[in-house]
Each structure stands twice: as C-alpha cells, then as structure tokens.
Chains A and B, each alone.
Chain A
Amino acid sequence: MKTSRAGAMNWLQPMLLFLLFGLIILSAGMGYIRISFLEVLKIVIWKLTGDRSSLHGIDSTLPYVVLEVRLPRILTSAIVGSGLSLAGVVFQGILLNPLADPYTLGISAGAAFGASIALLFGITWLGVYTVPMFAFIGATATLGAILLISSFDRQTSSNNLILAGIIVSAILSAGVSFIKYVADEQVSIIIFWLMGSFASKSWTDVLLTLLFVMLGAGVCFFFARDLNVMSLGDRSATSLGIEANRVRIVLLVTASLITAACVSVSGIIGFVGLVVPHLMRFLVGPDNRKLLPASILAGAILLLCADTITRAVLPSEIPIGVLTALIGGPFFCFIFRRQRAMRVYG
C-alpha cells in the first residue's frame, strides 16, 4: 500500500475537480425552489455563452435565483473552503506541526476583534463591507504583531511563532469577550458573525476571495518544494540551499492574508483548515506539490457541502462554523485514531 501511495492517487485530483463541478451545479438547484440539474446547467451555459435559446422553457425567475442568489453564495463557500485548506497546509508546513491550522497564530482572533469593534460601535461607513474591512485590518494587524513579537535578529522560529500566536490570541479573545460583555443588543449580532455564515454573499465577495486565494495559491506553489525540504528543520534546509527564514516569512504572510480574506468574508469557520490537510496528507502523502492542489479541491468540496446542508437541507439555517465543528470534530477523531493505529506519525 505504501509503495503505491504516490502512484495510485493520480486519479484523485481529476476526480475531485469533477466532483466539485458537479456539486456546484447540483447545489445551485437545491433550496426553497427546486431547480433540476439540467436547468441549472442551461442557465450557466446561457450566462457563459450568451445563447438565449438554451433558456427555452425555463421559468424567467430561475436565472435570477441561480445566478444572483445561489451561485455567489455557493462559489464563496467553495473558495473560502479552498483558501482555509490551502492556508492549513502551509501553516502546518512552516510551523512543522501537523496540528497547526490557519487560526493557530491568532489570525482569526484578530479578525474577530476587528469585526466586533465595527459591530459594537455600529460603524457603517463602508456599507456592508465595513465589518469585513475591520476584520481584515484586525487580522493583518495581528499578523504584524506576531511577526514583531517572534522575531529576534530578524530570524523567527516555529516555536516562537506558535508561542507569539498563543499569547496574542489570548489577549484578543479577552478583548472580544469584553466587547460582548459591554455590547447590549449588538451581542447577538457579534456572536452570529463569529460563528460564520455565507448568507447573502455577492459576486463581489466571490471576486475578492478568489483574488486572494488564487494569488496566494500561486505563491505557495512556487515554494512548494522548498516547503517539503523545510520539514527537515532549518539547519538541514539551509544546507540544502534554501533561504529558510525568508521562505518562512513569505509563506507565513501569504497564508495569513488568504486566511484574513476568507475570515473577513465568512466569519470564523473552524476545522476545515485542520481536517482537510490531514485527510489529504493521508491520501496523497506529505509532498506539497500534490498536497496543495488536493487540499484546495477537497476544501472547496467540504465547505460547499456543509453550506448546502445548512442552507438547503436542514429545516432552518444553523451557523456554518458550528456545523463544520460538529461534523469535523468527530471525523477528525476518527482520522486521528486511524493514523495513530497505522503509525503514520512517529
């Protein structure tokens, strides 16, 4: 089984891509108004080609439902899933810790703090984008603080980063708790935001997240092999020709910005960035050149499914962050037990 790990998994990526595409079309048909798979396909083809004849026999409100209401939400959830999984792979790689996730360094706590401030004071000068903007500023400011705290002589190590992350997270979480405490009627809005949601996402959200995730993925692919070698530790990586410190900072900033963009748009959705890299590493191995693309696709599928369940399957919507933790937690326990039983990690 071990010999064939790399070879036998070549079908995985095409399969995941196919599955993702199918799920996007399928989920766009699910919801209060049921639309058939073929009808959705026809609407999408009309939009892409401009050929009106494909719309023949379709209710004229359906294109609006699919294109303006459902697809932006579906695509945003898929892109955020990709981004969080991608960031998870990179954080686990640079922190040399398979238990790290996009939130280990407190990026999410920073976003939560920023969003809470905007919600507490009712700041609205950027319209619906005020809260995401504040969340993004909070997240990037946190990243800056962590880099400052963990660097000595312009060098930073995995352990320093994790410790700085824990410290900063603790402070910011206390800040969020305090804001919740002093916020009277806004407290429910804050709590709701923190639990994450893709409700009423627009094409702007799609484009914003897509921009960050695509650019970020490009940077991560560029350094994928360096990241492999860096799992040997700095000393060995340096002697193999890698500017370990520089690569670590570049990847850290990239993964953090991806996370910040995702969290700003969706709120804090846990477990995706931890479970997906683990599961994919189990299937394709730790080589980041395979692990990154596999995780991007699997993350999109996972979060899209979770969002579709809460949007269209459950009788009433529950926060997606709660759903991913409820499904992801036990599933992660299962994977963890199984891996330990097979002694994959020594």
Chain B
Amino acid sequence: MDKVPVFSISDINFSYGNVSVLRHVSLELREGNFYGILGPNGSGKTTLLDVMAGIKAPDSGSVLFMGKDIENYSKKELAKGIALVPQEFYINFPFTVKEIVLMGRHPYIPRFGSASADDIEVVDYTMRLMEIEDFQDRYVTELSGGEKQRVVFARALAQDTPVLMLDEGTSNMDIRHTLKILGIARDRVRKDNRTVIAAMHDLNLAAQFCDHLVFLKDGKIVALGPIDIVLNEQNIKQTFEVEAKIYFDEYSSSMQVAYRIEPTSSPIRHKA
C-alpha cells in the first residue's frame, strides 16, 4: 500500500452559485479497486466525479491524480488517464455507432492524422465485447436508450484508461447488459489492476461488484471504506432514510440489501 494513490482528494468544496454541492470532501482512492459512490438524488455524486475527472474545478481544496495536482494536467493527458461514461447521452448529429466509438481514440490520434491500425483494432474489439458490432453502421440517433449507453460504454473502453468512471452508466440498460458491463469493469480491475469509480443507485448491484463504498449525503461523506465494513443498516438509514436489512446471499454469494416498506404515510386528500 505504499504506492501513490490514484486519487488523493483533500477538503474539496464546490458550489453552483450559492448552492453548496460538495462540503469538505476528502478521499483517497487506490489502484486496483472497484469503488461505488452511493447517495440519494442531488447528493453530489456526479459533481464529485466531475471534480475528480478535472471537468469541474473545486472552489477550494485539492485533487491529486497519480500524485500530481489535476490542474497541472492538460485535458489531453487527462483523457489518456480517465474515461467517463456519462449519465445522459444526447447527440444532434447522425454519427454512426462506429464513429462514436472511434471518438474514444481521439486523445491518441494526432491532429491531422487518421486512426491507426491499433486504434481500429481497439475499436473493433470493444464493439464486439459490447455486442454492438452488428449495428456499428447505424446512426446513434436511431438507437434506444440502453443501446446508446452500450455505445458510450464502448467508447469509454476504447479510451483504454487506467481509471474508468461510470456515472450511473447503466441506468437505461436491461439487466443482462448491466451485469455484463459491470462484469467487464470488474475484470479490468482484477486483471489489469485498473480502477473503476461508479456512481450507483442499486445497492444490491453495488454490493455484488464493489470493493469499497463511499456514502454521500448533501455533499458530505457519511461513510467510506471496504464494503464488508461500511455496508450496514445504519449507514443506509443515515444516507437514504430507509429501513434496510443486510444479509449474506448464498446464490449471488454477496451481501444483499432488503428494504422494509413502511405503511404509506402520504397525506390523505380531502375532497372539497
């Protein structure tokens, strides 16, 4: 554990205008781990990822990526270090699936150069991996939400970076593809010692795939640490305000979360 951490974040604050989104967040993320960032809507997960990816600059505090201040990297250097799968994907122009995946190679292709045989190989490989090679010549504007997310994930894989960030990158996907994508991400962590940082909503999926969890609420860290320590009823209650039970599930051979549904407390509407 004496290697330089991938990310070393100390005391960052971030606000949009006067709305504070991240407050005194400090984190250390190490190579070869699958990190899950959990928290309710608006808790600052996306902003935290943006700050770590160098897309947004924090108001105060520092982000060290591989031991060096993230502000001292050029955008191009960062693009070779960190790939991001955004939550939403929207494009107005009819690029083909293959053209979009090839954009993942953008940081490697010189300005007036064209894609090398290597680039094409990586692109073809990731398209096969994501099972999108059959529609590689279709326009992305014609695809369904889940199909688009697979294309965007393929683009991020083609970027071939040591760090992969998923911002709820599986929200529109069916369960088979969700499991597949998280599985591919975990493979890269296990086999190539890469680092995955995923903002997730599904606690059970997080329990199955993550090594470490970060619980975030109102821009503050509630808990962080190895999954078997921090995934407990108390942290879930404190973060999400729901009652839950944690148990070990034999079938999935992982910790799982079950929720208790409270009797509805919605106010009764009286007719006038």
Residues of A at the B interface (CB closer than 8 Å) are 2-3, 5, 93, 96-98, 222, 225, 228-229, 231-233, 235-236, 238-243, 281, 285-287, 343-346
Which chain B residues (49-81) contact chain A, with CB distance < 8 Å? 50, 53-55, 74-80
Q: Are A238 and B92 in contact (CB under 8 A)?
A: no
Contacting residues, chain B, for A93 (C-beta < 8 A) = 93
The 8 sampled A-B contact pairs (Cβ below 8 Å) are A233-B91, A238-B75, A240-B107, A241-B74, A241-B106, A286-B94, A286-B95, A344-B141
Q: Are A2 and B84 in contact (CB under 8 A)?
A: no
Contacting residues, chain A, for B162 (C-beta < 8 A) = none
Contacting residues, chain A, for B92 (C-beta < 8 A) = 96-98, 231, 345
Q: Are B104 and A240 in contact (CB under 8 A)?
A: yes
Is B138 interfacial (CB 8 A cutoff)?
Answer: yes
A222 and B111 CA atoms in complex are apart in Å by: 8
Given contacts A231-B92, A287-B99, 15 further A-B pairs with CB under 8 A are: A2-B96, A2-B137, A2-B138, A2-B139, A3-B137, A225-B106, A231-B91, A231-B93, A233-B91, A239-B78, A239-B79, A241-B77, A241-B106, A286-B95, A344-B94
Please tell me the number of chain B residues within 8 Å of chain A, measured between CB atoms: 40
A35 and B134 CA atoms in complex are apart in Å by: 57
Q: Are B106 and A240 in contact (CB under 8 A)?
A: yes
Is B82 interfacial (CB 8 A cutoff)?
Answer: yes
Given contacts A225-B106, A235-B50, A236-B84, contact A98 B93 (CB under 8 A): yes
Which chain B residues (189-211) contact chain A, with CB distance < 8 Å? none
Query: Smallest CB–CB gap between B110 and chain A, Å?
Result: 10
Q: Are B75 and A236 in contact (CB under 8 A)?
A: no
* Mask: chain B, 151-169; 1 = CB below 8 Å from A; 0 = not: 0100000010000000000
Given contacts A239-B84, A241-B79, contact A345 B94 (CB under 8 A): yes
A97 and B106 CA atoms in complex are apart in Å by: 22
In the complex formed, the residue of B with least CB distance to A288 is: B93
A228 and B92 CA atoms in complex are apart in Å by: 11
Contacting residues, chain A, for B74 (C-beta < 8 A) = 241
Identify A242's interface contact among B53, B75, B83, CB under 8 A: B75
Is B259 interfacial (CB 8 A cutoff)?
Answer: no
Query: Smallest CB–CB gap between B216 and chain A, Å?
Result: 19
Contacting residues, chain A, for B137 (C-beta < 8 A) = 2-3
Query: Smallest CB–CB gap between B172 and chain A, Å?
Result: 14
Contacting residues, chain A, for B94 (C-beta < 8 A) = 281, 285-286, 344-346
A322 and B142 CA atoms in complex are apart in Å by: 36
Is B103 interfacial (CB 8 A cutoff)?
Answer: yes
Q: Are A346 and B83 in contact (CB under 8 A)?
A: no
Q: Are A240 and B103 in contact (CB under 8 A)?
A: yes
Q: Are B76 and A238 in contact (CB under 8 A)?
A: no
In the complex formed, the residue of B with least CB distance to A3 is: B137
Contacting residues, chain A, for B93 (C-beta < 8 A) = 93, 98, 231, 281, 286
Q: Are A346 and B103 in contact (CB under 8 A)?
A: no
Given contacts A96-B92, A241-B79, A285-B94, contact A235 B84 (CB under 8 A): yes
In the complex formed, the residue of A with least CB distance to B161 is: A239
Q: Are A346 and B139 in contact (CB under 8 A)?
A: yes
Is B251 interfacial (CB 8 A cutoff)?
Answer: no
Query: Smallest CB–CB gap between A23 and chain B, Å?
Result: 29
Contacting residues, chain B, for A228 (C-beta < 8 A) = 95, 99, 103
Which one of A5, A235, A243, A285 has the greatest number of beta carbons of chain B within 10 Å? A235
Q: Are A239 and B53 in contact (CB under 8 A)?
A: yes
Q: Are A229 and B103 in contact (CB under 8 A)?
A: yes
Query: Smallest CB–CB gap between B63 and chain A, Å?
Result: 15
